[in-house]
Chain A
Amino acid sequence: SQKIEQNSEALNIQEGKTATLTCNYTNYSPAYLQWYRQDPGRGPVFLLLIRENEKEKRKERLKVTFDTTLKQSLFHITASQPADSATYLCALFPLTGGGNKLTFGTGTQLKVEL
């Protein structure tokens, strides 16, 4: 089964800088990788999906990369703002095996300071 690891330590950065979050996974199988944002006491919000044949995906200030050789995805927020402070979750949806279900990492908390 898939195992997904995200840095459990919180990431603190200054406003205006680029935040980079890492997602590593094991037991690779063809998959779609997704990133979600979760605020305290609320459900996760879908941000981006990247397919395994896509190296990079962008949406406004967000950029996701997917390196199937390294088994890693990087999630970047450029020109970060205090409103970007939240927990960011990486999730994998395997296309074969894995029971056709989404497996989440434990998330990385991002804090953007003024």
Chain B
Amino acid sequence: KAGVTQTPRYLIKTRGQQVTLSCSPISGHRSVSWYQQTPGQGLQFLFEYFSETQRNKGNFPGRFSGRQFSNSRSEMNVSTLELGDSALYLCASRYGTASYEQYFGPGTRLTVT
């Protein structure tokens, strides 16, 4: 089975721009979560989608949003980029809400200049 894929792998944007990141979960997995990882804060939960519905949201401003499509693929969007948004953005999938181990993608490295 193919693993979780994320595109693009690397991205450089300028302050004020917006960005969209994409995640394809493992086939059959219906839950997709997004995390932000920075050296100072570690891995922080952004949100989780299950069957196209947002189930949970972390403590991030409204500039961070996401969605999930009927094929379980997910996108996250960050608007009005700030320098502090530079991070590794990780997507993780799991089969369903009753399965607890998560399978992560390789991440998208976002640099905001």
Contact = CB atoms under 8 A, between A and B. Distances in A.
B101 A34 contact: yes
A39 to B, nearest CB: 10
Interface residues of A, number: 21
A100 B42 contact: no
Interface in B88-106: 88, 90, 92, 97, 100-106
A103 interface: yes
B5 to A, nearest CB: 11
A61 B42 CA distance: 27
Given A101-B58, A103-B45, A45 B100 contact: no
A44 B45 contact: no
A43 B101 contact: no
Nearest to B99: A49
B43 interface: yes
B100 A43 contact: no
B104 A43 contact: yes
A102 B90 contact: no
Contacts, number: 50
Given A34-B100, A34-B101, A101-B45, A43 B56 contact: no
A3 to B, nearest CB: 12
B104 A32 contact: no
Interface string A36-48: 1000011111100
A46 B97 contact: no
Nearest to A98: B56
Interface in A16-40: 32, 34, 36
Interface in B27-59: 33, 35, 42-45, 48, 55-56, 58
B4 interface: yes
B66 interface: no
A74 B90 CA distance: 26
Contacts of B101: 34, 46, 49
A43 B107 contact: yes
Contact of B42 (A32, A45, A99, A104): A104
Contacts of A42: 106-107
